[in-house]
Amino acid sequence: MAKLHVTTSVNGEPVEFLCEPYDTMLDALRGQLGLTGSKEGCSSGDCGACSITLDDRLVCSCLMLAAEAEGHEIRTIEGMAHGDKLHPLQQKFLEHAALQCGICTSGMLVASEALLKKNANPTEEEVRFWLAGNLCRCTGYDKIVRAVMETAAEMRGA
Amino acid sequence: MNVVNNKWIGQRTIRPDGVDKVTGRAAFAADTNMPGMIWGKVLRSPHPHARIRSINTAKAEALPGVKAVVTARDIVDFTIEKGAVMLGIQDMRWMCRNVMAREKALFPGHPVAAVAATTEAIAAEACKLIEVDYEVLPWVIEINDALKPGAPILHEFNKVDGKPSNLLGKLEVKKGDIAKGFAEAEIIVEHTFTTRPVHQGYIEPHACLISVAADGKTTIWSSSQGQFMVRAMTSMLTGIPQSDIRAIPAEIGGGFGGKTIVYLEPLATMLAKKSGRPVKMVMTREEVMRATGPTSGSKSIVKIGARKDGTIVAAHGAFFLQAGAFPGSPIRGAVGCSFAPYDIPNVLSEGFDVCSNRSKVAAYRAPGAPIGAYAVECVLDELAEKLKMDPLELRLKNAAKEGTKAAHGPVFPRIGYIETLEAAKNHPHYAAPLGKLQGRGVASGFWFNAGGESSAQVNITEDGNVVVTTGHPDIGGSRAGIANICAELLGIDYKRISVIIGDTQTVGFSNLTGGSRVLFASSMVVTQATDKVINTLRERAAKIWEIDPEAVKWENGAAHPASPNAGQFEPLTLADLADKAPSQGGPIGASVQLNTQGAEGGFGTHICDVEVDVELGIVRVIRYTAVQDVGRAVHPSYVEGQLQGGVAQGIGWALNEEYIYNRDGKVDNPGFLDYRMPVCSDLPMLDCVLVEVPNPKHPQGVKGVGEVPLVPVMAAVSNAVYNALGKRFYHLPMSPPKVSEVLDAPTRQAAE
């Protein structure tokens, strides 16, 4: 079967790529597009390391076909900072040491940003349930939850 | 050691690799590609136990796009008869058979061949075309089954009392005479406990990218807990000399002990060598779960005797650990650590290494110690109850301290175990009220910690900044700790220090990131190298000033004239001296290579509160406090991170995680949906109390901290569940179906 031609937008830039019908969005991001910030931990939607947004909706890119990106807007971890200016969540993750090995961090940040866009003032319970789809094996989540709550408070204040 | 006036040690600085990791730039093992690269895949045994009569790869090799196929014939054979060939704690006889099955396939998922092809899809297709003629054999997985007379035998050469046996090793440590000790005891508690195999659960699957040039020069890009281990094992298994293998450490996406051995690298090296193309291999999650790690399932029989006043007089532990397909379960940790927190006159601690048809165990955070501590600390809880003593008081009464001789050998120097017990006892958590169906448990734990070989280079850049190169993959923030220490010694801002992990051909030999040794050992070599650099800087200043080097002191990042020349010259900063270096003797830098000694063991005491949902059988941890003697918290955030991460893993081990086997002897839950690790909504905040009793044998007082935090957790959770329900569980995990079964038992009886 011939490859599919996909026209989409990734982190605000128009993008075209060819893919197999069975390629996942994660395959296309990491392969054709060279955006390896999204990680593959399970390829079954259980770990969240490949989290991206599709038209502002949080999805596991391993559960989405690359061809489904046609005409939509994709955002990944690579689009989170503006030039050398980090997003407040990225800065707060650094200050709180909310990462150890860093393999889950891209997905955690993308998921956290999606939460704060929906809910500027989440409770600890809301943060914990929102991030329940993002596995971290290093931190026990404590510093991640604190970093997200504190970012939310600062962004509300700003 | 200038504790009070430290400027950088103890600060929560931003880690050197942080920005790369929050922007997605950090390159992990699977993130690198090379021109001309092809893909490797592994064909794995579907059987738990089968003799391999023959392998025919002709059809696979003929498939268009296939560039190379390898089998056990391509891997160096360390024959069993010739005896052990050790690399660290690994016997290469087992390692060569673990990376590629030789005479027999010993677990479902055991590699039997590997293929490299132009696409992953072709490589997977080619694997299906390989014909393996198996003689399927009876198999055995559980410890009790493996030790029964007539059990299927994995390694026929191994005999116990003249008969083939799956018992591949024994270890015992002893102190005093337990028969005499138990005779003196007024109260004795004895129970049998079991735990299931659990996986380290790193989120990054094993991956590598390897290129072999026509002259044999090999470049390995992989994530591991030791690039030197990767080089040595790959060399031994492929016959390529170490000097020709450059192993480059990628960022590592979690390891917890599970990445201290190789799986893919020897196969990818041989595929790359045969094909002449760089080969990339990435495991699926299912492959990770079936064929790597986990740690042992276990059966522990623990008996402890005490006098009525709470003095423990005797202890006996027998720890049976599943090794998986090859010998090497962590009995040393179970045997040595379990009773180490206590000063007990009569101890016998025995370990039994049991092989069975599941994947070979890999190290997991304080290997063996959490298994042993689970049994011992639960028995102590019951003993305290029988003695009508507070469980922390019982531990305090019997606590090991400076001068105590541990059953496993050492006489403890100044240790901080009692401090952890006092801190736990005085913590508000311990006195907080509990609600209905809530309970509180405590437990302690010990881990040996390790020193060993480390190398470092400290180089001053031409513009007067610093590059530190060490040889240990940074698994949890060690670069941040090293930056703090080097900044402290040089008296400059930590941001001027770049900390790099060198590859095998650019930095001296450095042993594994394991044993909680990295900051202990690397800060020792970095300190010595930095001191050498400071001496050079003082000499340079002395030369410029034409005074004696002894009359130059290094302070706040600059050379200052000291008495009798104090105040005579303007200080020369690091930048000044770097600028003048070409005319004053050349580049400034130093390297140090050491076999570090003096890593003292670490102790922790944990308090856990649970609430049990008796309708659903769900145990929820609602509050947790981990207290640990950490020596010196060089970067407190990453020390806390170690405690919190270990606690989370222990909660998973206690409450949900387990390998579930189906009737065909295969793991039935090889993914993150059914292998249930704690998620964010499962856990509360995890409080930490860092007790700092500096290690007298280390320049900054550092003790290893990474492994102790897993040791007490399962017992603390289990004791809390008992406190909540008045029913004790002797088997992990305490997952909802198992809790419900116990809770429903009396109801069912009443209904009948």
Residue A71 and residue A92 in one domain = no
* Chain A residues with CB-CB distance to B251 below 8 A: 101-102
- Domain holding A36: CATH number? 3.10.20.30
Residue A93 and residue A117 in one domain = yes
Check if the beta carbon of residue B617 is closer than 8 Å to that of residue B725.
no
**pLDDT confidence of B752, banded at 50, 70, 90?**
very low
Contact across the interface for A100 and B477, Cβ inside 8 Å: yes
Contact across the interface for A94 and B19, Cβ inside 8 Å: yes
B174: tokens are: 């002893």
Per-residue pLDDT at B748: 54
Per-residue pLDDT at B563: 87
Percent of chain B with pLDDT over 90: 97
Closest residue in chain A to residue B284, using alpha carbons only? A42
Per-residue pLDDT at B380: 98
CA pair distance B67, B60, nearest whole angstrom? 10
CA pair distance B5, A148, nearest whole angstrom? 33
DSSP string, A24-45: BHHHHHHTTT--TTS--S-SSS
H/E element holding B619?
A: strand B618-629
Sign of CA dihedral B731, B723, B651, A133: positive
Total domains in chain A come to: 2
B78: tokens are: 């360390």
Q: Is residue B688 scored above 80 in pLDDT?
A: yes
Query: Which residue range is the domain that position A111 belongs to?
Result: 88-156
Q: How far from B410 is each of B330, B368, B405, CA to CA, in Å?
A: 19, 19, 6
Residue A93 and residue A71 in one domain = no
Closest residue in chain B to residue A131, using alpha carbons only? B680
Which one, of A104, A99, A108, lies nearest residue B476 by Cα?
A99
Check if the beta carbon of residue A25 is closer than 8 Å to that of residue A73.
no
Contact across the interface for B672 and A41, Cβ inside 8 Å: yes
B392 torsion bin: left (phi>0), alpha (psi -120 to 50), beta (else): alpha
**pLDDT confidence of B5, banded at 50, 70, 90?**
confident
Residues of chain A with pLDDT under 50: none
Helix (H, G, I), strand (E, B) or coil at B104: strand
- Looking at the complex, report in whole angstroms how far the Cα of residue A86 sits from the nearest Cα belonging to chain B: 8
Q: Is residue B746 scored above 50 in pLDDT?
A: yes
**Site of tokens 């005896």:** B83
Residue A11 and residue A74 in one domain = yes
pLDDT digits (tens, 9 = 90+) for B691-732: 999 999 999 999 999 999 999 999 999 999 999 999 999 999
Q: Which residue has the higher pLDDT, B306 or B752?
A: B306
Percent of chain A with pLDDT over 70: 99
CA pair distance B657, B675, nearest whole angstrom? 6
- A35, A40, A103: best mutation site toward chain B, by most B Cβ within 10 Å? A103
pLDDT digits (tens, 9 = 90+) for B475-502: 989 999 999 999 999 999 999 999 999 9
- Looking at the complex, report in whole angstroms how far the Cα of residue B750 sits from the nearest Cα belonging to chain A: 39
Among A57, A79, A101, the domain-final residue is A79
Among A19, A52, A79, the domain-final residue is A79
Among A53, A79, A105, the domain-final residue is A79
Sign of CA dihedral A17, A18, A24, A30: negative
Per-residue pLDDT at B1: 41
Residue A74 and residue A97 in one domain = no
Cis, peptide link before residue B733, omega less than 30° from 0: yes
Q: Which of residues 70-99 of A touch B (CB under 8 A)?
A: 76-78, 80-81, 86, 90, 93-97, 99
Residue A74 and residue A94 in one domain = no
Percent of chain B with pLDDT over 70: 99
- Domain holding A93: CATH number? 1.10.150.120
Residue A60 and residue A106 in one domain = no
CB atoms closer than 10 angstroms to residue A93: 26
B607: tokens are: 């308090």
- Looking at the complex, report in whole angstroms how far the Cα of residue A21 sits from the nearest Cα belonging to chain B: 13
pLDDT digits (tens, 9 = 90+) for B38-64: 999 999 999 999 999 999 999 999 999
Helix (H, G, I), strand (E, B) or coil at A90: helix
Give me the torsion for CA of B524, B530, B533, B534, rounded to 10°: -120
Residue A48 and residue A93 in one domain = no
Q: List the Cα angle B216/B220/B224 in 5-degree steps.
A: 145
Residue A65 and residue A92 in one domain = no
Residue A68 and residue A96 in one domain = no
**pLDDT confidence of B158, banded at 50, 70, 90?**
very high
* Chain A residues with CB-CB distance to B475 below 8 A: 100-101
Residue A152 and residue A92 in one domain = yes
- Looking at the complex, report in whole angstroms how far the Cα of residue B708 sits from the nearest Cα belonging to chain A: 14
Q: Is residue B90 scored above 90 in pLDDT?
A: yes
